[in-house]
Structure 1
């Protein structure tokens, strides 16, 4: 038991916070925290020693849980877990597992997580208490061993000795604890600072009559394609299929009279949390965490979609097949009406997380919204979800006239891959991700060919890159963006942007921060700046 307790404590002290660092070399080190802890325990009488051992055990347990959360967040979202803001995202993670792997797996995962949260600090506390007692009972040998360990640590540190990569002399847990503390402090400071930033708006006091005057009479559509990132166009394993789709779609649109220009935006999020990408694009603010998102949603900062509503010259609508509950953000985005997952008439099966195929969502939009006669042009925000991980099963295109209520997709969903067969396989994840992007792009461009008019202007982009398992370690945060229209004057307004002709941006096409798009778009189409400063 003493050996097990020592291994548990050493393992916790050396546990990395990234899956890529989870190898033997990380655990073949001498932690300074263990040496200092032993010295402190040996210097204290019984009761203070017991208190220190309990506190150390609880602290090690908490740090172990935070390191495990960091692993998951780094792998899926390309960033570490934020102990102030990210707890509410765990509920979304549970819902994702339920949709992707089934409710039984989700319940089991939730139970396992609860047990882990309770068990890890308890086990660590028992281990540290046991080891403190062992050191006290063998004080003389423990003192000698601690001095030897300290001498070895100092020597290894001074000489910079390494084994299998990492240095032998470790201060790993102390460093990670400091990082976690700094993360908390930075988050609290950022909250106050960003609230001031959100009150400053270059177009905050612009009258409706001076917003997007060069788009009057146009039916505007802003569409986000889930996880549509640079990797889809440039990764050697993914790009051939997606690039072929983009080339084919560009040619088909040109035949229908549409032309496009494309560039790159650097997303504020990665791997998930799509709403951060949506809000960054439409608000013109860099929204990379949940607190910033809440601040903006509660503010009067002008969103790009709300700018159209403010003119009084457009009807505004949102099509949100991924929304399955109340969505108060509708007010911030200035949408007169929002169609969620239950309001599009779909009677077919879910495709993992995605409630319905993109092709169906677009046809429902056509029937319920776009085809209706109205006194004003239409401004629409559409979120397409078929390319959401785990990319299994993936819908297939069917004849548009056969879509009906979506029941036609039952056989396609049943014959598709299972999420469990794809989710842990990097190669298959890449392959299926590429297929899903091709499906989403094809659905959107075919819809435009079929239903677009001389006055249709489509802006579509990705919200973020896919997870690291697909996009690769240290991948960029770039996503493609395209503007498509029949009217040559629409694209002429953005000639100075130097975007690439067609739906596929060149590798060296301009790259802007996603937060820059709102102001550039408003300016390009004739909006006049009248700043507000809170």
Structure 2
């Protein structure tokens, strides 16, 4: 064999070896990873040696392409694990790749997004084609030196079986590896589970404890109250418990609690376990409002296509409230408006904002709340208002973060231009975990301040505010294996409102205690409806 041929064969072997050992979690990338024996290489070599020359080349190409595709799946698992705290679902998650592209465009600009998109297309192609070519190259080498290849394969098989039988490990990883098989089996289980889950969830969604409750028997204890449900993006348990983040956030919560108490408000707070993590906020919103565990896109499509009673829809069904949604993150048609029972929805283009974007967020929370006040809350009406408000300033990448300005100086939002220019750039923060934590904490403090100052400034004796996080921030901020818990608070002046939830044993104030009850987010709808006097009457959608 020539020197050039030897170098080519060596490169093909290293490529195939690396592809076979690609892990599905970033924490598994350790020095010990490269001291493993991939069982698939041993089996593949044995099978190829038994095939005739012509069939050997075709089989090697197919074998290599499959291995390359499985490596792509492992890389997707790493990405999803780092951002969403879970692996990639080959049935449901393809649509999220387009969402990721939109997120990059909104935060990093069109040029960076184009480069990232090209890279995201070329890398899988390179892995699949490169691995197929490497396998074909090595199959030719096996055919040219069958005696040596047979002895080497037998030796590798003996070593693999011995290490597997004895459980030999190096650097915490087993030396006998079979990553490709593990990936294939794992994703096959995921596909089977997903298909079964869709049918089971459709049946679950049809059974509603309040599905047949007449409007007159819903929420009688809140009649006459203006009720606001506000979601704070990425407001998770990490914000109030992580030592690197919590001091600033808890100081804000305590300061704002004192200000609200001086205005006559009291609060109770607890924990909810979100159905999502790191993103896909709509899954958290729909879980909270529908009383169903909506933890994937198939469940979301199923529930929003039906007629299940949502918490916001319950207010509309009574006929005693006007209902409105403030959705500054929505930038296209939103057919879910009907499902959530909202008479009017203001999206990113309906709030009159003329200022700059802040990262992904189309406008600062303070502006969105002032626009809500101007357009809906202060209007004269013959019945109270129920509002769902999505606050987005704490959306990753947490750069730049808005700052509070005088409420009377907000105007059309143009005054935020100098604040946006002076803030950090997304590219400065996104790759730095320490700075991401810092700016994440600042963004939560900003969102909490905006919301509670709005309440202090514009709330009345009949205002009831329920606010919560939709999910925890991404794993770069929370660290590995965090909980999915988010804070939730009810704030009101009327003591009777909080008396209704006394049995919940929530913590007094805006900051839930460490020992406060933790409920699944899907439990809130039924508990809330029951606490405020609704009569359960089961019915199907």
| TM-score grouping bracket, smaller chain normalisation | over 0.9
Residue-by-residue CA offset, 1:502-526 (whole Å, 9 max, x unaligned): 0000011000000000000000000
Report 1:124-143 matches (<5 A).
124-143=131-150
Partner of 1:430: 437
Pair 1:97 & 2:104 matched: yes
CA distance in 2, matches of 1:185, 1:7: 34
How far residue 65 of structure 1 moved from its aligned partner, in angstroms, is 1.1
* Residue 411 of structure 1 pairs with residue 418 of structure 2: yes
> Which residue number in structure 2 is paired with residue 115 of structure 1?
122
Deviations 1:360-418 (A, max 9, x none): 00000000010101111000000000000000000000000000000110000000001
**Distance in 2 (alpha carbons) for counterparts of 1:460 and 1:454:** 18
Q: In the TM superposition, what are the counterparts of 1:251-266 in structure 2 within 5 Å?
A: 251-266=258-273
> Whole-Å Cα distance in 2 between the matches of residues 233 and 374 of structure 1?
38
Q: Is there any run of 5+ residues in structure 1 with no aligned partner, and where?
A: none
- 1:185 is matched with 192
Is the Cα–Cα contact under 8 Å of residues 218 and 378 in structure 1 kept in the other structure? yes
Name 1:40's counterpart in structure 2.
47
User: CA–CA distance in 2 between the matches of 1:346 and 1:306?
Assistant: 28
Q: Please give the alpha-carbon distance, in whole angstroms, between the structure 2 residues aligned to 1:123 and 1:500.
A: 58
The reply to whether residue 212 of structure 1 matches residue 212 of structure 2 is: no
Residue of structure 2 in register with 1:499 after alignment = 506
Match of 1:63 among 67, 70, 81: 70
Q: Distance in 2 between the 1:464 and 1:343 partners?
A: 26
What does residue 164 of structure 2 align with?
157
1:473 alignment partner in structure 2: 480
Deviation at 1:18, TM superposition (A): 1.0
**What's the CA shift for 1:45?**
1.1
Give the deviation of 1:25 after TM superposition: 1.3
* Distance in 1 of aligned mates of 2:454 and 2:219: 25
Residue by residue over 1:340-375, the C-alpha shift from the partner in whole angstroms, topping out at 9 and shown as x without a partner, is 000000000000100000000000000001010111
Q: Secondary structure at the match of 1:333?
A: coil
User: 1:320·1:339 contact (CA, 8 Å) conserved in 2?
Assistant: yes
How far has the Cα of 1:117 moved from its partner? 2.6
Partner residue in 1 for 2:60? 53
Alpha-carbon distance in 1 for matches of 2:16, 2:328: 47
Compute the displacement of 1:46 (Å).
2.3
- Structure 2 counterparts to residues 208-247 of structure 1, below 5 A: 208-247=215-254
Cα deviation for residue 64 of structure 1 reads: 1.4
- Cα pair 2:30 2:171 within 8 Å, conserved: no
Shift of residue 47, structure 1, vs aligned partner = 3.1
- d(CA) in 2 for partners of 1:273, 1:52: 41
Match of 1:323 in 2: 330
Task: Name which of 287, 295, 299 aligns with 2:294.
Answer: 287
Deviation, 1:57, is 1.4
1:201-250 CA-partner distances (Å, limit 9, x unpaired): 10011100111111011101000000000000000010000000000111
Distance in 1, Cα, partners of 2:526 & 2:59: 56
Query: Would you say the 8 A contact 1:15–1:27 is kept in 2?
Result: no
Q: Is the 8 A contact 1:285 1:515 kept in 2?
A: yes
Matched with 2:84 is 77
Distance between the aligned counterparts of 1:21 and 1:198, measured in 2? 38
Separation (CA, whole Å) in 2 of partners of 1:100 and 1:342 = 18
Q: 2: distance between equivalents of 1:386 and 1:89?
A: 21
Instruction: Say whether 1:166 aligns with 2:190.
Output: no
Runs of 4 or more above 3 Å deviation: none
The match for 1:490 among 482, 489, 497 is 497
Aligned to 2:490, the other structure's residue is in SS state strand
Query: When the two structures are superposed, what TM-score results if normalisation uses the length of structure 1?
Result: 0.99
In 1, the alpha carbon distance for the partners of 2:54 and 2:287 equals 54
1:16 equivalenced with 2:23 (yes/no): yes
The two structures, once aligned, show a CA RMSD in angstroms of 0.8
CA distance in structure 2 between the partners assigned to 1:177 and 1:415 by the alignment: 49
1:21 & 1:424 partners in 2: Cα distance? 20
Would the aligned equivalents of 1:351 and 1:413 in 2 still touch at CA under 8 Å?
Answer: yes
CA–CA distance in structure 2, aligned partners of residues 85 and 4 of structure 1 = 36
* Whole-angstrom distance in 2 between the partners of 1:418 and 1:51: 50
- The answer to whether the aligner puts 1:250 opposite 2:257 as a matched pair is yes
What CA deviation, in whole Å up to 9, does each residue of 1:278-328 have, x standing for no partner?
A: 000000000100000000010111110000000011100000000000001
After alignment, is 107-116 or 434-443 more displaced?
107-116
Does the 8 Å contact 1:32/1:171 carry over to 2?
A: yes
Q: Report how many residues are paired.
A: 534
Shift of 1:118: 2.2
Partner in structure 1 of residue 4 of structure 2: none
Deviation at 1:67, TM superposition (A): 1.0
SS where residue 122 of structure 1 aligns? helix
Structure 2 unmatched ranges of 5 or more = 1-7
Inter-partner Cα distance in structure 2 for 1:41 and 1:422: 49
Pairing 1:378–2:385 present: yes
Structure 2 CA distance for aligned equivalents of residues 533 and 327 of structure 1: 25
Deviation at 1:59, TM superposition (A): 0.6
SS at 1:408 equivalent: helix
